Structure 1
Amino acid sequence: MSTTSIDVARRRSAELEHDLLADPGRFRVLTGDRPTGPLHLGHYVGTLANRVRLQTAGIEVFVVIADYQVITDRDSVGDVRGNVREVLLDHLAAGLSVRDGSGVPGATVFTHSAVPALNQLVLPFLSLVSVAELQRNPTVRAETAAATRRGSGAAGPNGLLLTYPVHQAADILFCGANLVPVGQDQLPHLETARLVARRFGERYGQVFPEPEALLSAAPLLLGTDGAKMSKSAGNSIPLRADEDETARLVRSARTNTERRISYDPVHRPEVANLLLMASLCCGRPPEGLAEEIGDGGSAALKHLVTESVNEHLRPLRARRRELAGADDHLRAVLAAGNAHANEVADATLQRVREAMGMTY
């Protein structure tokens, strides 16, 4: 996207922040994660904490655990069932209040594969988007290139990967979400959802709102190797890690040979990232933390980061341990979320059929 488009998105996101505080009932949020492994510290500061914030503000939240998306870019799905459970545990431990069948309102947490009507929306949506538009999507381009390098499958990248943006559009539109928390790099995906909503309205009549982006204010955390923190790269600090494992992971993080610690994201990105990690966990500016460490070097920096992360995540990890043995509750949460998502999706699909003249 152009710099101008991103600037417009930022200004609009700031306006939405004001609006959602003034009238939270106007909004419905759709967000989610792929169950490819345990969530990590980057997920917590970038997305989980924000989901809890939006719910606390009074906004209805839908969270998709996108199990179908696991097969878009890999030949082996791994332990999908176990990973769904881990992602659910991370959300509950982070403080998200969820539907659990008790009648108490909360966020709707559901899995892709359990909501057939949602996935059926992909068919008419695909007719509204050209192949060239799908191929221009930045994530499709990047994942296609990565799949080609890996030699994924005999014929290369699969067809599901190409239609990935339309699947995301269905995720957003099926529940009438009008607000989607995203990072800047995800704006093209949201634009596909807006395009589908607009074209469907032009062709068949207005059914879907055009969802808007709520850009994340959370800074990007790098992994312990200096690259983007990722579940699959082995460079993250999982939320489920214990304090000893956290200490080991932080000790392995890259820094540099200069002893004096300074906050310089351009020239010392690894050191700056550790300072930022500590800052986000202890609520103090990274520049002040660097000044405090001074000539203490990497050892003092990593000690501070370890203590800050462990202190910040201690309540979350305690809740996670309590919930890990509550299998009946976890099953109830998914059952209630899937049931409500199916009700919403069935109603939406019926409106789509009526608009398209396909009720018989």
Structure 2
Amino acid sequence: MTVLDDTELHTDASYAASFARSRAVHELIDDPASAERTKLRVLTGDRPTGPLHIGHLFATLKSRVAIQNKGIDTFILVADYQVITDRDAVGDVRAATFGQLADYLAAGIDPARSTIFAHSAVPEIGQLTLVFLSLVTDAELRRNPTVKDELAATDGRPLSGLLLSYPVHQAADILGVHGTVVPVGRDQLPHIEQTRAIARRFNTRYSGGEDYFRAPDALLTEMPVVPGLDGRKMSTSRGNGVSLGMTADETAARIRKARTDSERRITFEPERRPEVASMLRIAGLFTGEAPEHIADRIGDGGAAALKAELTTVVNDGLAAHRARRADLAADPAHLESVLREGNTRAREIAARTLDDVNDRIGVRY
């Protein structure tokens, strides 16, 4: 059997190894009697590019709350510096950051048990990125699927240095606070494999083989498919989703304007009727029903009945979240305090990490 080296980051063999490690981590998280469990630190996060929507709620927020509630040390990054990775106009990053924070807390993230911090408040991450760039090659970065996809979508626009080095910046996010577990979908595995390679190479080159950095494990998650109202992936920029901060009336208006088709009977046929299928799937996330059963119940009610059903279940399902969110948004001083405290804790850890790194390189004066 061929042994994979650090440059082979996304093969079937590497996926199988990642899957096995992920399964072991899942078991460890669910075993409160294990002493090894106390050594886990989860690192996850989002870019504040716009309001969080119901896709975020079901795909990530609920799982973060569950991990936190099991007593696992959890760090959640507001990746504000990464907003400039692939865009010229960044919008109101500050407003998006605090909106994101309000949604985190409304969803059940407890700042007493989870550390929420912002990229821009932890400059040590940028310094670690500089060190880690010495441990990767240009060819490796260009092979990363995220970088390749972005490059293919640029239509000839030059690839920014920040986008090219995006996987290294992510490695600094994780290793800077000594994250050991990163929840991801399969498509993000190359980023975790790159981080594991950087950790190993640093240990070999600068730490005499001592495992100063623990190679983090991917926690592969079965994220539910949360399509947009138009059948494509839900995205704030496409205007095809329902933001968590929308009012009930705004939600009703967004759903009412969504495109369907002219057929009277509602059926769940994703290939032939993607918009209708998307609405049925979203409704199912809130009710727990299979999309086919919802379609059968609506029957000949047509698009109007489908949209009415979806509006009701979404607004009912988000009512408690929205009430908590409104209370939080009305107290900006509290939100600022939560982020400031998280920034302080994350920076203390990252500063110690940078000192240790500089010691090992021999540049601490």
Partners of 1:233 and 1:270 lie apart in 2 by 14
Compute the displacement of 1:301 (Å).
1.7
Partners of 2:251 and 2:186 lie apart in 1 by 29
What's 1:180 paired with? Answer: 182
Provide TM-score, normalisation by structure 2.
0.90
Partners of 1:317 and 1:293 lie apart in 2 by 27
What's 2:286 paired with? Answer: 281
Q: Deviations over 1:10-53 (max 9, x none)?
A: 45433322221104423211111111111111011111111111
- With 131-140 and 250-259 compared, the bigger mean Cα shift is at 250-259
Compute the displacement of 1:294 (Å).
2.1
Provide TM-score, normalisation by structure 1.
0.92
3-state DSSP class of the match of 2:153? helix
What's 1:87 paired with? Answer: 100
Partners of 2:277 and 2:26 lie apart in 1 by 28
What's 1:136 paired with? Answer: 143
3-state DSSP class of the match of 1:355? helix
1:60-71 alignment to 2 at 5 Å?
Answer: 60-71=73-84
- With 345-354 and 7-16 compared, the bigger mean Cα shift is at 7-16
Compute the displacement of 1:304 (Å).
1.5
Correspondence for 2:312 among 300, 303, 307: 307
Question: Unaligned regions of 5+ residues in structure 1, if any?
Answer: 99-104
Backbone CA RMSD of aligned residues = 1.8
Partners of 1:8 and 1:259 lie apart in 2 by 49
Partners of 2:19 and 2:55 lie apart in 1 by 21
What's 1:47 paired with? Answer: 60
What's 2:301 paired with? Answer: 296
Compute the displacement of 1:258 (Å).
3.4
1:22 aligns with 2:31: yes
Compute the displacement of 1:3 (Å).
4.9
Letter in 2 for 1:162: L
What's 1:261 paired with? Answer: 266
What's 1:240 paired with? Answer: 245
3-state DSSP class of the match of 1:22? coil
Partners of 1:254 and 1:219 lie apart in 2 by 23
In the superposition, relative to structure 1, how do residues 266 and 14 fare at CA in structure 2: closer, same or farther (>3 Å)?
farther
Partners of 1:10 and 1:294 lie apart in 2 by 41
Letter in 1 for 2:134: S
3-state DSSP class of the match of 1:147? coil
- With 59-68 and 213-222 compared, the bigger mean Cα shift is at 213-222
Correspondence for 1:250 among 255, 258, 262: 255
Partners of 1:292 and 1:8 lie apart in 2 by 44
Partners of 2:201 and 2:273 lie apart in 1 by 47
Compute the displacement of 1:166 (Å).
0.3
3-state DSSP class of the match of 1:61? strand
Partners of 1:55 and 1:118 lie apart in 2 by 24
Partners of 1:184 and 1:127 lie apart in 2 by 27
Compute the displacement of 1:87 (Å).
0.9
Q: Is the 8 A contact 1:224 1:252 kept in 2?
A: no
Q: Deviations over 1:184-223 (max 9, x none)?
A: 2211111111111111112122211111111222222121
Partners of 2:310 and 2:20 lie apart in 1 by 33
Q: Is the 8 A contact 1:111 1:338 kept in 2?
A: yes
3-state DSSP class of the match of 1:224? coil
The number of residues matched between the two structures is 349
Letter in 2 for 1:296: G
1:221 aligns with 2:226: yes
1:147 aligns with 2:154: yes
What's 1:331 paired with? Answer: 336
What's 1:171 paired with? Answer: 173
Letter in 1 for 2:25: L
Q: Deviations over 1:133-165 (max 9, x none)?
A: 11111111222233345x4xxxx2321111111
1:76 aligns with 2:76: no
Q: Deviations over 1:276-326 (max 9, x none)?
A: 211111222223222222222222222211111111110000001111111
Q: Is the 8 A contact 2:229 2:278 kept in 1?
A: no
Q: Deviations over 1:252-277 (max 9, x none)?
A: 33333333323333443332221121
1:25-36 alignment to 2 at 5 Å?
Answer: 25-36=38-49
Letter in 1 for 2:166: Y
Q: Is the 8 A contact 2:230 2:274 kept in 1?
A: no
Correspondence for 2:191 among 172, 189, 192: 189
Compute the displacement of 1:230 (Å).
1.2
Correspondence for 1:106 among 88, 101, 113: 113
3-state DSSP class of the match of 2:215? coil
Letter in 2 for 1:68: Y
Q: Is the 8 A contact 2:51 2:243 kept in 1?
A: yes
Compute the displacement of 1:226 (Å).
1.9
1:343 aligns with 2:348: yes
Q: Is the 8 A contact 1:179 1:211 kept in 2?
A: yes
Partners of 2:65 and 2:249 lie apart in 1 by 27
